[in-house]
Amino acid sequence: MLIVIQCIDKVGLVAAISGLMEKEKINIISMREHVDTTENLFFARLELLPAPKTDPQMLYLALQQILPVDALIKINPNPQKKIVVLVTKEYHCLGDILLRHQFKTLGATVQAVVGNHLVLHDICSKFNVPFHYVSHENKTKEDFEAELLQTIHQYPLDYLVLAKFMRILSPSFVAQFTHNIINIHHSFLPAFIGANPYKQAYERGVKIIGATAHFVTNALDEGPIIVQQVAPINHSYSVTDMVRTGKEIEKNTLAKALQMVLEDRVFVYNNKTVVFE
């Protein structure tokens, strides 16, 4: 059993939660908690071994009685999430997702891949994952996104994953998936936002490059950060070398972010995250 909690902080919450579990004869396997003292917010993730007759609904009501009003409580979130992946032409992040999906280590089912180019159709066919081609050419942004949404909504999904989807989504599109769109950005944000970050980094003469996985909001590349990773470089690296190294970081960063999100280890608040690794 898994429980995640987010609420206003007050003295005694950990003791109250632990006491309730003892009363219900539920063994706590793992409990992670964090308090943001500035915002006075409490976050907790519990892995539990329930008693044979544990009723999740009754446990939810009991938690409501001991937690502050308006506490966000989830008991047993769907353990097998469903995702739809949006792509353009680059294969490295999608390939990693499809491999993990094939060998059941992703923690989610890839419902479909949607691309605005046909380049990645064949790799999806090899993994027996549906691929939908939705071109953006000769269309208004509104018409393109309407067609995207029509395609996406054919499938039940928990998260939309932008695996190098090189299009900026409109606020109206993003609003339909609040904190449910995960993007991999080829830069260590907030540095070098937008296009051509490796060229920007090369011209700046940086000594590290990185990648950032974050939730998408209406502010370009400024959504809540989930995972960031970096790699050292030096003066001998060309832009091509940086891109090659960067692709490995991007793939690994997105994989780590998906693991954290799909295992319900990420809490979002005030454009920030708490991540229980």
Residue tagged active-site, from 96, 158, 221, 264: 221
Contacts of 71 (CB under 8 A, 6+ apart): 5, 6, 7, 8, 63, 64
- Looking at residue 103, the DSSP 8-state letter turns out to be T
- Looking at residue 72, the DSSP 8-state letter turns out to be E
> What is the distance between the alpha carbons of residues 174 and 222, in angstroms, rounded to a whole number?
13
In the residue annotation, 96 being an active-site residue is answered as: no
Element (H, E) at 178: none
> What is the distance between the alpha carbons of residues 132 and 177, in angstroms, rounded to a whole number?
20
Instruction: Tell me which residue has tokens 């007050």.
Output: 10
- Nearest of 104, 81, 52 to residue 182 by alpha carbon: 81
2 burial type by CB count under 10 A (0-12 exposed, 13-18 middle, 19+ buried)? middle
Rounded to the nearest 10°, the torsion over CA 23, 27, 32, 35 is: 0
> What is the distance between the alpha carbons of residues 66 and 240, in angstroms, rounded to a whole number?
56
Contacts of 270 (CB under 8 A, 6+ apart): 39
Q: Mind telling me the catalytic residues? A: 221
